[in-house]
Amino acid sequence: MIVDVRSDEQSAGPFGDLDAYVNLPRVGGLWLSPDGRRLVVAVATPDHKKTRYTTALWEVDPAGERAARRLTRSDDGESAAAFTPAGDLLFTSVRPANQDGPADGADAAGEEPRAALWLQPATGGDARVVANLPGGVQGVVVSDSGALVLGSPLLPSSPDADGDKEKRKARKEAGVSAILHEEYPVRYWDHDLGPHRTRLLVGALTEDVTGGDGLLDLRDLTGHVGRALGVEPGWDIAPDGRTVVVAWTVAESAGSQRSTLVAIDVATGERRTLADRADLEYAAPRVSPDGTRVAVEVARRSSPEDPGDVWLAVVPLTGGPVQALTDGWDRLPHSARWTPDSAALIVAADDTGRSPLWRVDAVTGAVTRLTSDDGAYTDLRVSPDGRWVYALRSAVDSPPRPIRLAVDGGSEVQMLPGPAEALGASVRVPATLEEVNATAADGTPLRAWIALPSQAGAESPVPLLLWIHGGPLSSWNAWSWRWNPWIAVARGYAVLLPDPALSTGYGYEFIKRGWGDWGGAPYTDLMAIIDAAEERPDIDAGRTAAMGGSFGGYMANWVAGHTDRFAAIVTHASVWALDQMITTTDAPYYWLRELTDKRREANSPHRFAPAITTPVLVIHGDKDYRVPIGEALRLWWDLLSRSSAADGSSPHKFLYFPDENHWILKPGNVKAWYATVLAFLDHHVRGQEWQRPELLG
């Protein structure tokens, strides 16, 4: 007997109510004070108009005894930046310093407000602005000595921040919005690059700044260096405040670039190269607490035959050989943090559908696993006494929350009372999570998570939704607010979350199986794992659908052109025509290392448009620069131009977001996204009458 299982809203909790879902607090980011007594996390919730998410800062008890308490309140939101040596909290915000004045960070040219740097005293009292730059503030790092370095975008010809303000004003008054590019890249994810470029500014947290009402006296450390400082912060400062270490981008021929490692003397601005090899990239430098070494992520650059690799290395701060630590470990470490004695590094690395914490010996490179659960750990911090690791833990079935763990791994992970508990918004998913195993055509073991409605069983098999992850170098191992399977589970679907070829956490060879052959092993792996899932008695193999976003959208398009086994396909921010996308994305030089002309032709989904018979829901945001909107427009035309109905009707649909990017982020649009996806699936998988979501008019 087949029963159309659908959870009621009460049992499904917020996952059965989109209004409740978008109101759930979303924890992201964690900072620890130098003395280890203050732990701060950021929490995003909808603003009072429910039109966007804003972030507030909350303090969490590092010992786990007291309830979390809110530190900041404004409609503009705040993001933590760092702590001073005395434990004062530094944060960024565009909120006004007084209710009557303009937002801090808004320059005289009338541009959009930029984030200013604020200080909230550890002893209590109101926060106040300590740095207000026309281009905003990012990547604030503070040394043990009280030296501070931050990034701020300035126009190329600006001599300093004051001059930058005047030049922006003149540009605005002249009605100029044009950007003259002389190098690559020109866009990144959802925003245009330029005309300003990031510079590093340095200052000191003097008593006048921390105890009085003074502003930071910031000095331009680098001057205009074009693309060198990249798009996202990638620098650290030595404990004595005398040296800044930076991932420094340099230009290459044919529109390419690579990342080197540079040390900058704070007093003189003199730069010296610590690491630079044409076949390697360097990222995320961390200076050791004793000030002698720099830990850095090293990546071997990919080629058509080699997906590359990532390992952790150390290099003397004064210069010398780069010592690889984990080059023999078949995992990809990231987010490294030193222990206070400079003897080891705590890292995260994907591993078979999880992302545990690991300890890496800073001399021998020996790796020890610290966590044994199903969690994925981010935002790592180590206590100054060397006893604890603090982090955010999530899992496929658990949203991020603050935790602590003994550095020696000798205790269980301790969940700390966080903002969700204080707000009465603790989340319990509406079903169960299990694993599915299969064997690939070449004999490789495969695995996936499967999220199941509680009502599913042999007597009431439920429809199945194959959800393909993005990346492609990624894994289904953590909670996702953007691609949340539990909303579909609350609707009565089982959701299969597989890690096919190209997924991380299974070793180099597992990635290489799909390298440059996206339509090969990744596709056949997906078919093998869904075959295994459909053999379960609680799954209705006659009612299945597939969906994915980004690279998952690419795979959804490939699936659509190669099988008719699914009743519906949803493709979000997807690659359709590789010849078009690879040279219009924001970083062509990366993708071209893997996808040769021949491979782009062989693996492009658009070539198989005539074979598509499955109804497809196309979703795309106009501000998506990673996978430009042209992909969706071309896909939509290729689908509609092949519709043969005399009245022009089609089973396909196109959900378009003019003001969103690669991800759908605004609360109202989030609801519209899920409502449309569910309506499309219900219509084609369950045979229900099509109902246009009310949110879409």
Calpha distance 292→119 (Å, rounded)? 30
Q: What distance in Å separates the CA atoms of residue 640 and residue 479, rounded to the nearest whole number?
A: 35
- What is the per-residue pLDDT for 124? 84
Q: Which residues pair with 227 in a beta bridge?
A: none
How would residue 111 be classed by pLDDT, with cut points 50, 70 and 90? low
Is the pLDDT confidence value at 540 over 90?
yes
* 485 assigned to some structural domain: yes
Q: Residue 81 and residue 119: Cα distance in Å, rounded? A: 10
Q: Is 506 helix (H, G, I), strand (E, B) or coil?
A: coil
pLDDT of res. 409: 79
Q: What's the whole-number mean pLDDT along residues 252-258? A: 95
> Token pair for residue 384?
């100054």
Max Cα–Cα distance, the chain, nearest Å:
78
- Can you read off the two tokens belonging to residue 21? 């879902």
pLDDT of amino acid 11: 61
Neighbours of 583 (CB within 10 A): 12
β-pairing verdict for 79-83 and 69-70: unpaired
219 DSSP β-pair partners: 202
Contacts with 85 (C-beta within 8 Å, 6 or more apart), sequence order:
34, 142, 144, 145, 146, 205
Find out whether 72 and 130 touch, Cβ atoms under 8 Å. Answer: no
Q: Give 383-420 pLDDT, tens digit per residue.
A: 999 999 999 999 999 999 999 999 987 789 999 999 99
97 in any annotated domain: no
Instruction: Provide the token pair at 544.
Output: 């299945």
Question: Using CA atoms, how far apart are residues 344 and 365, in angstroms rounded to an integer?
Answer: 9
Give pLDDT, residue 531.
98
Rounded-to-integer distance, Cα 631 and Cα 654, Å: 12
pLDDT tens sequence across 19-31? 999 999 999 999 9
What is the full DSSP assignment across 314-345? EEETT----EESSTTSSS--EEEEE-TTSSEE
Give the residue ranges of DSSP H helices in 291-430. 419-422
Q: In sequence order, what E strands does 482-534 have?
A: 494-498
In what order do the strands lie in the sheet containing 147-154? 138-142, 147-154, 197-204, 219-220
pLDDT class of 231 with cuts at 50, 70, 90? confident
**What rounded mean pLDDT belongs to the chain?**
94
* Structural domain harbouring 441: 431-696
Cα Rg of the chain, angstroms: 26
Q: Is residue 690 part of a domain?
A: yes
pLDDT at 495 over 60: yes
What integer pLDDT is reported at residue 101 of this predicted model?
A: 36
Structure tokens at 358: 């690991």
Give me the pLDDT at residue 4, please.
Answer: 43
pLDDT tens-digit profile of 5-61? 444 444 678 999 999 999 999 999 999 999 999 999 999 999 999 999 999 999 999
* CA–CA gap between residue 10 and residue 272 (Å, rounded): 62
Cα–Cα distance measured from residue 11 to residue 534, given in angstroms and rounded to the nearest whole number: 26
Structure tokens at 183: 């190098």
3-class DSSP state of 492: coil
Q: What is the pLDDT of residue 75?
A: 87
pLDDT at 496 over 60: yes
Task: Collect all residues with Cβ–Cβ distance below 8 Å to 381 and sequence separation of at least 6.
Answer: 30, 31, 32, 39, 337, 389, 390, 391
Domain tally for the chain?
1
Phi-psi group of 244: left, alpha or beta (phi > 0 → left; psi -120 to 50 → alpha; rest → beta): beta
Q: What span, in angstroms and rounded, lies between the C-alpha atoms of 63 and 387?
A: 12
Rounded Cα distance between 465 and 431, Å, is 15
| Residue 686: both structure tokens together | 């369950």
Rounded Cα–Cα distance for residues 207 and 190 (Å): 40
Helix pair 551-560, 521-534: axis angle to 10 deg: 80
Structure tokens at 432: 């169960």
Q: Is the pLDDT of residue 65 over 90?
A: yes
The verdict on residue 39 lying in a domain is no
Q: What average pLDDT score do residues 466-484 get?
A: 97
Q: List 220's β-bridge partners, or say none.
A: 201
The pLDDT, as a whole number, for residue 3 is 38
- Identity of the residue numbered 347: V
pLDDT digits (tens, 9 = 90+) for 451-467: 999 989 999 999 999 99
- pLDDT for 8 equals 43
Q: Give the chain's count of helices (H) and strands (E).
A: 14, 38
Looking at the chain, the whole-number percentage of residues with pLDDT higher than 70 is: 96
Q: What is the pLDDT of residues 422-441, one digit of tens each?
A: 999 989 898 899 999 999 99
| Predicted pLDDT at 102 | 39
DSSP β-bridge partners for residue 313: 296, 324
Whether 1 shows a pLDDT value over 70: the answer reads no
pTM of the model: 0.95
Whole-angstrom distance, CA of residue 417 vs CA of residue 66: 7
> Strands 653-657 and 616-621, how do they pair?
parallel
Q: How many other β-carbons are positioned within 10 Å of the β-carbon of residue 444? A: 17
Q: By three-state DSSP, how is residue 241 classified?
A: coil
pLDDT, average across residues 225-236: 94
Does residue 241 lie within any of the structural domains? no
In a domain? residue 511: yes
Residues 6+ apart with CB under 8 A from 693: 672, 675, 676, 679
Q: How confident is the model at residue 97 (pLDDT cuts 50, 70, 90)?
A: low
The CA distance from 395 to 615, in Å, is 32
- The residue count for the chain: 697
265-302 pLDDT, tens digit each: 999 999 999 999 999 999 999 999 999 999 999 999 99
Please check whether residue 127 lies inside any domain of the structure: no
Cα end-to-end distance, the chain, whole Å: 38
Encode burial over 337-360: b for 16+ CB neighbours within 10 A, e otherwise: bbbbebebbbbbbbbbbbbbbbbb
Strand 388-395 relative to strand 445-453: parallel, antiparallel, unpaired?
A: unpaired
Report yes or no: 246 and 202 within 8 Å, Cβ to Cβ.
no
Q: Is residue 398 part of a domain?
A: no
Q: Are 351 and 358 in contact (CB under 8 A)?
A: no
* Token pair belonging to 298: 């090293």
Q: Which residues contact 687 (CB under 8 A, 6 or more apart)?
A: none
Do the beta carbons of residue 34 and residue 144 sit within 8 Å? yes
Which residues in 340-444 belong to E strands, given as ranges?
A: 344-348, 357-361, 367-369, 376-382, 388-395, 398-406, 414-415, 431-439
CB within 8 A of 248, min separation 6: which ones? Answer: 228, 229, 259, 260, 261, 262, 271, 273
Q: Rounded CA gap, 557 and 574, in Å? A: 8
Which tokens in the block code for residue 644? Answer: 């043969």
Q: What's the CATH code of the domain at 506?
A: 3.40.50.1820
Mean pLDDT of 79-89: 94
pLDDT, residue 10, reads 46
pLDDT in tens, 124-138: 889 999 999 999 999
Provide φ and ψ at 324, rounded to 5°: -70, 135
Q: Are 270 and 257 in contact (CB under 8 A)?
A: no
* Rounded distance between C-alpha atoms, residue 351 and residue 379, angstroms: 18
Question: How far apart are the C-alpha atoms of 300 and 281, rounded to whole Å?
Answer: 6
Geometric angle at alpha carbon 145, from 142 and 148, rounded to 5°: 30
Mean pLDDT over 638-655 rounds to: 94
CB atoms within 10 A of CB 471: 14
Q: Does residue 676 sit in helix, strand or coil? A: helix
How does pLDDT run across 325-375, given as a tens digit for each residue? 999 999 999 999 999 999 999 999 999 999 999 999 999 999 999 999 999
Q: What is the pLDDT of residues 115-167, one digit of tens each?
A: 999 999 998 889 999 999 999 999 999 999 999 999 999 999 999 888 999 99
Q: Are 37 and 26 in contact (CB under 8 A)?
A: no
